[in-house]
Every structure is written in C-alpha cells, then in structure tokens.
Amino acid sequence: MMARAISSEQVAADHDPQLLCPFFSRTPPEIRNRIFKLVLTEYDDQARPYARDSFHYRPGYRFERRIDTDLLRTCRRVYLETHLLPSSLNTEHVFWCYRTSSGKVHPTDPCHYFSKMTAQQLDAVDCVHVFAHNEWMEKQWRNVCGVPEFHPRKVRITFRHSDWWRCQYMEDLAIDPRLPIGGDMDDWDSMLGWEEFFGDVSGLEELEMEFESSGSTKDQLHALARKALRWRFGVQGDRVLSTLDTDIVAYCWKSPAFRDDDMMAHVISRGARSAHSGAAPRQPDEEEVITIVEHRLPASDYQNKGAASTRRAFRDVPFLSKRDHQNELTTSYYVLRLTWRARRYDELDSDLEDL
C-alpha cells in the first residue's frame, strides 16, 4: 500500500542538518543533486517485462517502470532535498485504467495515487498519461479532475485499438467528449460531456490524445481525427485548449497478433489472425515487434485535406502491407496523435468562425 508522503514542513521542523556527514558538509550541492537525480529517475525494471501478447505491451512500454525511493528514508536532510524529485524528474505518471494485467503493480486508480501525495509533490507533477476506455472517461474522468490540487501541466490520453465502444462487435470507431454522460437527472454533471472537466484542472497547458486502430479501421481513424481537430476544451484563466498551430503525428507499430484476452482476439487483428489447431502459437522474433515509423504534418494542412489527400500525406507511414496481412505472428497498429494547447479566446476568434 502506498503510504502518504510527509510534507517538508513536518520534516524541517525537527531535523539534523548532518553537518558532520562529509556527503553534506564537503560535497557541493550541485554534485549531490546529480547523484539524487540518478538514483531517483524512473527506469525499466528488466525483472518485470510485460508479456508481448498483452494489451499494455506497446512502444515505450515493454517493462514495468520503477522508481527506487529508499533513499528518501535514510534521514530527514535527504528527504528535504529529494522529496519532490520522484514527482518532477519523471516525464509522466502513467495509469492503465482499462485492460491492464491482473498482477500489475503500477497504479490503476489516479484518484488514490494522487491522494497520497503532498501538495508540494502534486505541484511537481508535470504530465499525466491515461490509457482509458471511452466508458472510463465518461464515468471516472471527472473524479480525477476533481482531486484537490491536481494540476499537471500536460495530460495525455491514449485510446488503444481495444478501447473503443463495442469494438468487439466490429462497429465503427466513435468518440465525442461533448456528449452528455447520462445517468442521474438530478446530477448536473451527468448532463455534461467529459470535455467539461478539463476546466477543473488549474494550470493545464497542453492536452494530447492518441487514437489507435488496426486493420480496416484506418480510414475511420482519419475521419474521426479530422472531427477532433475542431474540438475545444475550456480551461481556467479564460483560455481554451485548441489544435491551432499544432502538428498531427501518425505512426505505425507492430506487435504479436495474439493477446491475453481470447474474446478480443478477432478484434485485435481485424481478420489478420490465422486459425491454429490447438497448438500454442510461436512467439515472434524480437525484431518483429515494436517497429515504429513516424510522420508529422501540420494540423491545419491535415484538416484541409480529403481522404485521398490524407493517404498521400501519410504515404511514408507503411501500414498493413501484403506481408503484414499474411503474417500470422504480428499485427500492425496505426496511431494518430493530436495536440491541443492553451490559447486565449481572442486568439481563436478567426479560427472559431471557420468551424
């Protein structure tokens, strides 16, 4: 269980400055800081690899991540100098809010995770990355945004190929943060879409969303992205998150076609999965997985292109070649990453008129 952190005020009230310790009396502060940063930087735990056929195995996420925090327990002087580093050093705080492994150590509940931090540690959080299903966003996102003093500078939300509504029934990809959540008619929040709750997060400067698909849904993904470029999210300070002057990034990656949920197997490969007669599938070679090709295009150019032009614009992103379709061991996935940045409303007048 994650214990609640001790505030620096509590520690500073009664601590030994450790002036007899050479590490503090003779080692320059900048050297100490470099040592502390090396010790407290998050790293891949090679002893806990993700299964290559699991839903959370993907680019940048091949192992459990670990931060060794034992250093903070050595003495109060060390705690005073280091207690913010685990929050500030590490580029993102990741939450797997849907389809994670049953034995996963990394937190799946953002509200519980942030409730254990001090106000100072919350201030040091820069980026929060959520892997979420549509339903989770509709039912839980407002609770996360409502956590007191939760104010990251950046939020990234990834919708994996298995996270779309009714994807197991091969229905079209669909998501709209503006639609009412529904539920209790006496609850005003239930009449709002989850877009509204970004306004509860003070200091939010940037939002990224990643939309992922496989196989035959690539064109649907582009159609959805062109709509998403028009979304606006009101935030504090009379500002709005907008895609104006941002880029859209497309990338393709490959992984094993067999995932840890047999019920979803036909969705993962979208028809590319070969039938096996009860034999255990052979694991693909290491070089066959996590192969990434990325391409970037200004969002304004992307928005103005039709479907055919979009395909030409991203022709450098190979996707599901004939060889991939026939490969029974791997499946290719296609991802579009959109970015919204905070702007003043008066900067968007001309842009909004075109919507």
Dist. CA 68–CA 64, nearest whole Å: 13
Instruction: Give a yes or no: residue 170 inside a domain.
Output: yes
Q: What per-residue confidence (pLDDT) applies to 340?
A: 96
Contact (Cβ atoms closer than 8 angstroms) between residue 57 and residue 49: no
Instruction: Give a yes or no: residue 349 inside a domain.
Output: yes
Q: What per-residue confidence (pLDDT) applies to 280?
A: 45
Instruction: Give a yes or no: residue 1 inside a domain.
Output: no
Q: What is the pLDDT along the chain (355 residues), one digit of tens a residue?
A: 344 455 545 555 567 788 888 898 899 989 999 999 999 999 999 998 888 777 788 888 888 888 898 998 888 889 889 989 988 888 789 888 877 655 555 567 788 888 888 888 888 899 999 998 888 888 888 888 887 778 899 999 999 887 886 555 456 787 888 777 654 444 545 557 888 899 999 899 999 999 998 766 788 888 889 889 989 999 998 899 999 999 999 988 877 665 544 434 444 334 333 333 344 444 444 444 566 667 788 887 776 665 555 555 555 555 444 444 445 567 788 899 999 999 998 887 554 433 3
Q: What is the pTM of this model?
A: 0.79
Dist. CA 78–CA 73, nearest whole Å: 8
Q: What per-residue confidence (pLDDT) applies to 291?
A: 61
* Total domains present in the chain: 1
Contact (Cβ atoms closer than 8 angstroms) between residue 258 and residue 53: yes
Quote the domain boundaries for residue 312.
8-353
Strands (E), the chain: 43-49, 63-66, 93-96, 127-131, 154-159, 206-214, 233-235, 239-242, 247-256, 293-298, 330-344
Instruction: Give a yes or no: residue 3 inside a domain.
Output: no
Instruction: Give a yes or no: residue 161 inside a domain.
Output: yes
Instruction: Give a yes or no: residue 2 inside a domain.
Output: no
Closest by CA to 55, choosing from 265, 208, 274, is 265
- Is residue 162 classed as helix, strand or coil in its secondary structure? coil
Instruction: Give a yes or no: residue 141 inside a domain.
Output: yes
Instruction: Give a yes or no: residue 257 inside a domain.
Output: yes
